Amino acid sequence: MSMNPRIAEAIEQLKLRTYYSAYPENPKAYPDEANEAGKLAFQKRLSNRFDELIADESISWLGEEVSPYMQVGLGIEYPVFSVDSLISNAKNARDQWSKISPEKRADILIETLDKVQERFFEIAYATMHTTGQSFVMSFQASGPHANDRALESIALGLQELTRINHEVNWVKNMGKFDLTIKKNFKPISKGVGLVIGCSTFPTWNTVPGVFANLITGNSVIVKPHPKSVLPIAIVVAEMQKVFSSHGLNGNLVQLAVDSLANPITKQLAEHPAVKLIDYTGGSEFGEYVESLPGKTVFTEKAGVNSVILESVGDAKAVFGNLAFSASLYSGQMCTAPQNIFVPADGIATAEGHLSFDEVVSGIQQAIVGMAENPKMGPFTLGAIQNDMTKNRVNDTLSSLGKSAVEAQVVNPEFTDARIMTPSVVAISEQDRNLWNKECFGPIMFIVKVENSAKALELAAFNAENKGAITCLCYSTNEGYCAEVEERMNSVFTPVSFNFTGAAFVNQHAAFSDFHVTGGNPSGNATFTDALFINRRFVWVGNRYA
Amino acid sequence: MSMNPRIAEAIEQLKLRTYYSAYPENPKAYPDEANEAGKLAFQKRLSNRFDELIADESISWLGEEVSPYMQVGLGIEYPVFSVDSLISNAKNARDQWSKISPEKRADILIETLDKVQERFFEIAYATMHTTGQSFVMSFQASGPHANDRALESIALGLQELTRINHEVNWVKNMGKFDLTIKKNFKPISKGVGLVIGCSTFPTWNTVPGVFANLITGNSVIVKPHPKSVLPIAIVVAEMQKVFSSHGLNGNLVQLAVDSLANPITKQLAEHPAVKLIDYTGGSEFGEYVESLPGKTVFTEKAGVNSVILESVGDAKAVFGNLAFSASLYSGQMCTAPQNIFVPADGIATAEGHLSFDEVVSGIQQAIVGMAENPKMGPFTLGAIQNDMTKNRVNDTLSSLGKSAVEAQVVNPEFTDARIMTPSVVAISEQDRNLWNKECFGPIMFIVKVENSAKALELAAFNAENKGAITCLCYSTNEGYCAEVEERMNSVFTPVSFNFTGAAFVNQHAAFSDFHVTGGNPSGNATFTDALFINRRFVWVGNRYA
């Protein structure tokens, strides 16, 4: 069977790692009417049952999503299934699917992405009103960027599944005769995969595991966060339809909706038929998942990301870049910086020396300035996904005798949006209880440290002990940059250097950037390296004399 | 840097999986005088200190190897090091080695294999007199076959380390301008690797992990079994010399010799600097190693290998093949069959029906006939590595009111060899305590089962619950073969069908057969798939704006 040219291209891109995207990220690249149609489709769902999923065996319906923009419940209900029926369906579907060739699987999976692409705008509005992301981020992250990450799984999957010949005639000359053995090599899928989603990136963080499981012949149960169901529900529905259209069991991928009050995640995770678990979320539950015996587990947990400020060229450009990275989706990205380590005696800039306090106020002003810019603020900050995040930041601030920064941010469309401008708090090296743990949400600590060596030491210490997904370093000193790269890489943390302009530390591009290294406590896996695929199946070779 | 053509060839062979060997396996392919010279070199070592290892920091010398052929101690002593100095040397050596390019590492590692090749005969005699393997098996397994497996690690390692571009110019068109980011991608080694050897295959089972660690930039401490040190000591010594000749720290690979009475394996395994552990040996210790937190672990543990006899063509050829597989190194291979499941009403053959009892006696006679053949017996059986193996088999037999088969096996060269012809015991399906666990050594159970469906059921049950490295099936019924393949593969066990003549289930050829699947309790890793390499390092990507 020959390889789908789109997948062959994607495989090549995985090696090149230059810019590549198979799905246009600009909403304007899509038909004019698509945006309005998507919005309307979303609006029609409100206060209705989501009826696109296979639901014959549903035992009830529920939904508890709340729009962070409107702060009212969406009223959408999803079918609820018993754990037994989810598992039983998943086992049956896997038995069928695992017999299909990897090439055919890839073709079908690519087709599901085409169908998902037709619903990018609807998914975007669904993402906005569950996560609080801005429209553009919702569109890009849950649409093209998620599809690109899914395609990455399909492509790398097919590459790995076909990296050896499946049928071999093994002939060994034994002197007087040839010994001939016919061999076959089969990539046997592990079983049922469970993919546990998070509330902030319900599709982007979910689809890599879903498609990696499917291309390798496993079936999938998606357990979305109860507050962020709709975006992935649309994706799962489209996938089920494509599977059914090929005469396959649509339950190859299922949506397991539960509620915050009655979660079923542990029941699913601990079920003996579930062999694979992908998880995105907090560290505590992540460690529980990692500890389950007999499971192959892929996690993205919390990290504490650092910025190291040693010296800069254009301070204004740096503060602007930092302000944007901190403000993008109000610091609710797992890649957002939390701690900025700055030497006590300040930093050198192209326009002269800046004291520590000047650095702090420069960053603060840049954030507030951006937040209050009506063309940027509301569309960068988006909304806070849930009250817990807002309360966590407020509690932290009040424990320090401070209150949240009060910027005048007005969202012209959603006056009730849950908005919070990132606060910047200057602390000292001694405030270890603040900089040595994740404080998820719109808050950054600027940590006054003895010198730049100490800045690196603490950033590396955090990465090694608490995990880090990103590190951003500003330095005009090449030797120092090399030191930072080596030291942070040694604790398996990538470093971005001197980002200004349109380069942001938060952004991890498919087909180029690895997302999470898997080498520090922020997670044990990567989007997308060979392990992300190969751990999902087992090579078995049979021999016929 | 261009790729070494020998490695490029090996990489191609990994895909093809047809017959390939880079090191001739026939002793006669080597210079005439090499055999005698190797034997002499081995003999000179007896009752002497092994002085080829870097030993400046040795704190004492010890050795407790006993020749299974002479049943006297070899009297060879090896330098002993403190755990602290082993770890400290390994950390230093890794810091240096990890900065060298993968291509250069591969060249140096290939050179170590060339040097090892020059000592194949000496290693062969060392292997004979520590493991009890026959001369030919000792030569092949510890010489060319081990080198081939090492080359496999180097080749797959270089393939994985270079599968993506390491330096990338990432350019994204942003409409009015191009965003350009320079990226580098680095495969960062995990740290110090510990490779724990076994007594029966001291180099073959050890070098895959050693070379996989080294090609990926880690350093290695080899902890040999105290009773099988010399073969791997010679390999480590040659490697140290090559590293030193390149101005590198020779301690990049170290030998950590201990004694049965005072083992240091746990101290090493639990040391925080040890990030990788390769282990071959019993299941209990293997499970301990797998349970260690924060380690990347590769195990080959015990399994219970099955033969399924459903129907055969030439019964004599089948019994002969089974007899050889059971007798090869006296059943001390991890790939040797243990249980033969035979339907209670016997089997069909080309020459008519054979009752269960006829099958049992046919196999028994084939084993005794081969053992007593002076040209085959002693050279197939070799010797029993240690008394525990012999006692285990005798105890099992006596608990059944039986004694070991008494075949007249005479080893013309070693009259004191510890020889034991494999015993064959007919048992029933109800004797679960016998067929449901490994009884390592020269014993096979022929299990009378209801029918061929039951035979498959029990073989699969064992593989799933106790692990299996091989399964051998004899059937002239294509439908049954397909069933066996599917069912055994579903518990991640490879099946060999209808092996007669020179095809033996025990043999796993490098560059073609995967050794252990990693999918059942017999081990969590494979020689050699992509996981065996990729789990040893972490991709980290840095970005420069």
pLDDT at B1 over 70: no
Q: pLDDT over 90 for what percent of chain B?
A: 98
- Check: CB of residue B203 under 8 Å from CB of residue B232: yes
Cis previous bond, B127, omega within 30:
no
pLDDT-based confidence at residue A353 (cuts at 50, 70, 90)? very high
Q: Tell me, yes or no, if the pTM score tops 0.90.
A: yes
* CB-closest option in A164, A185, A518 to B538: A518
What pairs with residue B254 in β-bridges? B221
Contact (CB<8Å) B519/A502:
no
pLDDT band at B2 (very low <50, low <70, confident <90, very high): confident
Residue-wise pLDDT tens digits, A477-518: 999 999 999 999 999 999 999 999 999 999 999 999 999 999
**What is the arithmetic mean of pLDDT over B365-369?**
97
Helix (H, G, I), strand (E, B) or coil at A370: helix
Structure confidence at residue B535 as a pLDDT band (50, 70, 90) = very high
Helix (H, G, I), strand (E, B) or coil at B314: coil
Confirm or reject contact between B416 and chain A (CB < 8 A).
no
**Helix or strand or coil: residue B192?**
strand
Return the minimum-mean-pLDDT range out of B3-12, B260-269, B527-536.
Answer: B3-12
∠ CA A129-A503-A392 to the nearest 5 degrees? 45
Q: Where in chain B is the domain with CATH 3.40.309.10?
A: 306-497
Bridge partners of residue B473, in order along the sequence = B308, B497
CB–CB of A18 and B542 under 8 A? no
Strand blocks (E) in B51-141: 60-62, 78-80
Using the Cβ of A493 and the Cβ atoms of chain B, whether some distance falls under 8 Å is answered with yes
pLDDT of residue B3: 81
In this complex, which of B15, B519, B540 lies closest to A164 when CB atoms are compared? B15
Please, what is the average pLDDT of chain B?
97
Q: What is the DSSP letter of A514?
A: P
- Put simply, whether A470 touches B (Cβ < 8 Å) is no
- The 10s digit of each residue's pLDDT in B472-522 is 999 999 999 999 999 999 999 999 999 999 999 999 999 999 999 999 999
| pLDDT tens digits along A128-176 | 999 999 999 999 999 999 999 999 999 999 999 999 999 999 999 999 9
Give the one of B188, B489, B529 whose C-beta lies nearest to A534's C-beta. B529
Which residues in chain A have their CB less than 8 angstroms from residue B17's CB? 164-165, 168, 170, 183, 185
Contact (CB, 8 A) for B193 and B536: yes
Beta-strand (E) ranges in A397-536? Answer: 423-428, 443-449, 471-474, 496-497
- pLDDT level of residue A54 (50, 70, 90 thresholds): very high
The reply to whether A489 touches chain B by the CB within 8 Å rule is: yes
Q: What is the pLDDT of residues B33-84, one digit of tens each?
A: 999 999 999 999 999 999 999 999 999 999 999 999 999 999 999 999 999 9
Contact B497 A168 (CB under 8 A): no
**Which of chain A's residues have a Cβ under 8 Å away from the Cβ of B540?**
489, 492-494, 514, 517, 519
Q: What is the pLDDT of residues A192-203, one digit of tens each?
A: 999 999 999 999
Cβ contacts of B500 on chain A, cutoff 8 Å:
545
Taking residue B406's Cβ as centre, other Cβ atoms within 10 Å add up to: 11
Q: Which of B489, A172, B425 is nearest to B497 (CA)?
A: B489
Q: Are strands B192-196 and B219-223 parallel, antiparallel or unpaired?
A: parallel
Contact in structure between B193 and B220 (CB atoms under 8 Å): yes
Q: Which residue of A has its CA nearest to B525?
A: A538
Across the interface, whether the CB atoms of A513 and B539 are under 8 A apart is answered: no
Given a contact cutoff of 8 angstroms between Cβ atoms, the answer to whether A157 and A212 are in contact is: yes
Minimal CA separation from B46 to chain A, in Å: 35
Mean pLDDT, residues B166-186: 97
Check CB contact under 8 Å for A495 and B543: yes
Q: Is the pLDDT of residue B430 over 80?
A: yes
CATH 3.40.605.10 residue ranges of chain B are: 5-301+525-544
Q: How far is CA A289 from CA A365, A492, B282, in A?
A: 41, 22, 28
Residue of A nearest to B296 (CA): A519
* C-alpha of A314 from chain center: 32
Q: Give the DSSP per-residue string, B243-310.
A: HHHTTS-GGGEEE----SSS--HHHHHH-TTEEEEEEES-HHHHHHHHH-TT-EEEEE-----EEEES
Q: Is B464 in CB contact (< 8 Å) with chain A?
A: no
Q: What is the pLDDT of residue A406?
A: 86
Contacts of A294 in chain B (CB under 8 A): none
Confidence check: pLDDT of A422 > 60: yes
Distance CA B326, CA A277 (A): 40
* Whether the complex's predicted ipTM surpasses the cut of 0.95: yes
| Residues on chain A touching B513 (C-beta within 8 angstroms) | 183, 541, 543
DSSP A250: G
Q: What was the pLDDT predicted at B75?
A: 98
Q: Which chain B residue has the Cα nearest residue A512?
A: B170
**pLDDT of res. B406:** 86
Residue B253 reports pLDDT greater than 70: yes
- CATH code that applies to domain B306-497: 3.40.309.10
Distance from CA of B76 to the nearest CA of A (A): 37
CATH assignment, A5-301+525-544: 3.40.605.10
Q: Determine the Cα–Cα distance for residues A538 and A531; give it in Å rounded to an integer.
A: 12
Does A389 lie at the interface with B, CB-CB under 8 angstroms? no
Cα B198 to Cα B224: distance, rounded to the nearest angstrom? 7
pLDDT at A228 over 60: yes
Q: At what angle do helices A102-117 and A5-16 cross, to 10 degrees?
A: 90
| Amino acid at site A179 | L
In the predicted structure, residue A71 carries a pLDDT above the cut 70: yes
SS3 A181: strand
Tens digits of residue pLDDT in B109-155: 999 999 999 999 999 999 999 999 999 999 999 999 999 999 999 99
Candidate from B503, B513, B539 with C-beta closest to A526:
B539
Q: With 80 as the cut, is the pLDDT of residue A105 above it?
A: yes
SS3 B35: helix
Give the pLDDT score at A1: 57
Residue B490 at interface with chain A, using a CB cutoff of 8 Å: yes
Find tokens 């998902």 and name the residue. Answer: A116
* Nearest Cβ partner for A514 among B502, B509, B539: B539
SS3 annotation, B349-397 = ECCEEECHHHHHHHHHHHHHHHHHCCCCHHHHHCCCCCHHHHHHHHHHH
B488 with B495: CB under 8 angstroms? yes
Collapse the DSSP code of B327 into the 3-class scheme (helix H, G, I; strand E, B; otherwise coil) and give the result: helix
Contacts of B295 in chain A (CB under 8 A): none
* Distance between CA atoms of residues B33 and B40, nearest Å: 11
Q: CB distance from B501 to chain A under 8 Å?
A: yes
Instruction: Test A496 with B542 for CB contact under 8 angstroms.
Output: yes
